[in-house]
Chain A
Amino acid sequence: MPFFRKRTYRNADGKRKDMPGGLWLKCPSCSEILYKRELDDNLGVCRHCGHHFQLTRDQRIRCLAEPDSFVEFDTGITSVDVLGFTGTDSYPDKLAGNIRKTGHKDAVSCGEARIGDHEVALGVMDFSFLGASMGSVVGEKVTRLFEHGLERRHPVVLCCASGGARMYEGMFSLMQMAKTSAAIARLNAAAVPYIPVLTHPTMAGVMASFATLGDAILAEPGALIGFAGPRVIKETTQQELPEGFQRAEFLEKKGLIDLVVPRSELRATLARLLDFLCPSPAAPEPV
C-alpha cells in the first residue's frame, strides 16, 4: 500500500463533463433556471421558451418509439483507425474516450421499434459521440438499417444529427455518403417510406446524403441544419447571414423541410404520416 496516492479529479480527464453539478440547469435560450427532473419529464424541452435540448440516444428512443418496443441490432460494429491517422491526437484515443463517455460503440444506434401501429426500422444518431460524425461504422449501420427496412418492408425512421463526415477515416468516410444514398434508391424503388427527423445540428456530409433524401423531411424547432457551417460561410464569402439562417424554420420557409415538429408531437406526427403512406402495415405485400 503506497503512502501517497495520486489524487484524481473527476473533471480533469474530461470524464462526465456533461454531468450537472446539481439538480438545476440554466436554459441557454431564455436563461430561466430549470429543474432537471422536470426538464427530463418534458422530453428535454424548456417549458418557458420551448428550447429543445439535445437528447441522449436513450432519451431519444423513449421519445420516438412506443414504450419498450425498441430492439437494437448491429451492436457489435466498431470503428477502426484505418488510416493510422497522424493528426494532433490519436483516433483510437478519441474513440475510447467517446465510448467511455456515451456507453456506446459509435455515433448511431439502429434497431426495430414500433411507432403507432407501425413496425419500423429506427435509427438515432448521437451528437455527443464525436459530433455524430459519419465514418465507416455510421455509414454501414445506416445502410443496414435501410436494407433491413427494405427486406421486411418496414418504414425507416432515422433521427439525424451530425457535424458531417469523420475526417479521421478520410475518403472511407466520404464514400459512406454514396453508400447510404444507394440504399435509399432501393427503398424508393420498392416504395418503402423513409422519414428522416433532423435534430440540432445536422450538417455537411450527412445533410448531403441520407438526411435530405426522405419521402418527408421533419425537423425539430430551432435545429441548425445545412451544408457548410455558418462560420465557414462567413469566412469564405464575407456575407452577412440573415437572422435565423440555417435554422429549421428558415429551411421550412425556403422549401427544404416538410414540417417543423415540436418534440412532444414527433411520435404522433410520424405515426400519422406512416398511416397515410402505408395504410395496412400488417398486411403482407402481394407477390
Chain B
Amino acid sequence: MPPLTLLPFEKPIADLQAKLEELRALSAKGEVDVDAEAGLMEKKIQAMRQKIYGDLSPWQKVQVARHPQRPYTRDYLEALVPDFTELHGDRLYGDDRAIQGGLGTLGGRRVLILGTQKGRDTRTNLECNFGCPRPEGYRKALRLMRLAARFGVPIVTLIDTPGAFPGLESEERHVAEAIAVNLREMFTFPVPIVVTVIGEGGSGGALGIGVGDRILILEHAYYSVISPEGCAAILWKDRAFADRASEALKLTAQDLHQAGLVDEILPEPLGGAHQDPPAMARRLGEAIGRHLDELSRLSGDELLAGRYEKFRAMGVYAEEAAPAETAPPEDADAPPAEPAD
C-alpha cells in the first residue's frame, strides 16, 4: 500500500512525521540513539491526530469521506463476505460498475449485498464512473433486491457516491424514474434492509439504494441533499464556499444522528477509516450483523409497517388548526408568471 495521502488540515501531522523520519534516518546511521526521542514524537503525532480528528469541521469531514484511500464497497466485501458471488446487469440495458452487488455470507448470514463503487485510479475510475451510477445501476440494484425479497434473503446496501451521474444518457434512460422506482419498491420488500453510508452520501443518487429498516453511517461519512460545492454554487455563486455550505447543510453523521435521520454512528479508527481498514471492516460487519439479528425477529409485515413509519415520521414543520374558512387568495387575478429559471 502506498503511503497514506495527507489531507490539507493534516499538515501539523505531516510536519511531525517528517521530523520523526529525520530522527529515524539519524538513528539508522547509528550516529545517535533516538529511541526515546522517537517514541516521544510518535506520542506527539498520536496526540495531534486525536486533537485534529476530535474536532473536525463539516468540510474537513467531507474531505475525509472523499479520501482517495478510504475503504470502498469492494474492500468491505473482500473483508466481510468471503464467498461473495457477484451478479451482473439490469437485464434491460447493461451492467453499471458504479453499483455492484451479489449474494454471499456475512457473519454467518446469507445476504444480498450491494453498494456504490468508486475507482482507485484512472482506469477503475472510468470503469466505475467515479462512483456515479447511471440508470442501469439503480435498475440492477432493483433486480437484485427483488431477487432477495423473493427468496427471503436480507438486503445490505453500502453507500459511497458523489451522486447519480448527471449526463445526457442518464436523462435519456430516465435516471430520475429509476431512483423513484427504487424508493417505492424498497418499501415493499418484506426482508430486513440495513443501509450504511460508508463515505459520501450524495443526494438522490445515494437515497436510490438508501431506504431501509436501519440507516447506519460511519463517523466521518456525510449524507447531504446537495453536494457542498453545488450548494455553494447556488447560494454563494462560487464553489469555493463549499466549506460554508457544508456547515449550513448539517450533513455530518453527528448532525444527522441528532436530527434522528440515522440510527447509529459507527466510530472510525483514529484518523479515518483508511488508517485501519481491517478494523473498520470488523466494526461494520459487527454492526450490520447485530441489526440483521434484531430485524430477523420481525415478520415481513412488521418490517414493512416499521419501515413506513420510520420514513413517514421524517420531516419538521409547524401546524396550526385549520381555519374555519379559507381566506380568498390574494393573487386570484394575477397573470400567469414566467419561470424564474
Residues of chain A whose beta carbon lies under 8 Å from any beta carbon of chain B: 18-20, 25, 28, 36, 39-40, 44, 53-59, 72-80, 82-83, 85-89, 102-104, 127-128, 131, 136-137, 139-140, 143, 163, 165-167, 169-179, 181-186, 188-189, 200-201, 204-205, 207-213, 226-229, 232-233, 236-237, 239, 241-242, 245-246, 251, 254-256
Contacts and interface: CB of A to CB of B under 8 A. Distances in A.
Contacts of B234: 167
A78 B341 contact: no
20 contacts: A28-B338, A40-B336, A56-B332, A74-B322, A86-B244, A89-B235, A103-B330, A137-B317, A167-B249, A174-B204, A179-B315, A182-B307, A201-B339, A205-B203, A208-B180, A208-B204, A211-B180, A227-B166, A232-B230, A256-B177
B141 to A, nearest CB: 14
A80 B183 contact: no
Given A20-B335, A178-B311, A228 B166 contact: yes
A177 B336 contact: no
Given A88-B236, A167-B249, A208-B208, A53 B322 contact: no
A18 B250 contact: no
Contact of A254 (B172, B248, B326, B338): B172
Interface of B: 164, 166-168, 170-177, 179-181, 183-185, 187-188, 203-204, 207-208, 210-211, 223-226, 230-231, 234-236, 244-245, 247-251, 256, 259, 261, 307-308, 311-312, 314-323, 326, 329-332, 334-341
A165 B207 CA distance: 13
B37 to A, nearest CB: 45
A183 B318 CA distance: 21
B174 A256 contact: yes
A33 B330 CA distance: 26
A226 B311 contact: no
B207 A55 contact: no
B171 A44 contact: no
Contact of B315 (A28, A57, A175, A181): A175
Given A40-B335, A83-B250, A181-B187, A245 B340 contact: no
Contacts of B335: 18-20, 25, 36, 39-40, 53
A154 to B, nearest CB: 19
Nearest to B169: A239
Contacts of B245: 87
Contacts of A127: 337, 339-340
Most B Cβ at <10 Å: residue of A73, A140, A175, A185? A175
Contact of B336 (A53, A104, A176, A182): A53
A221 to B, nearest CB: 14
A77 B337 CA distance: 25
B174 A170 contact: no
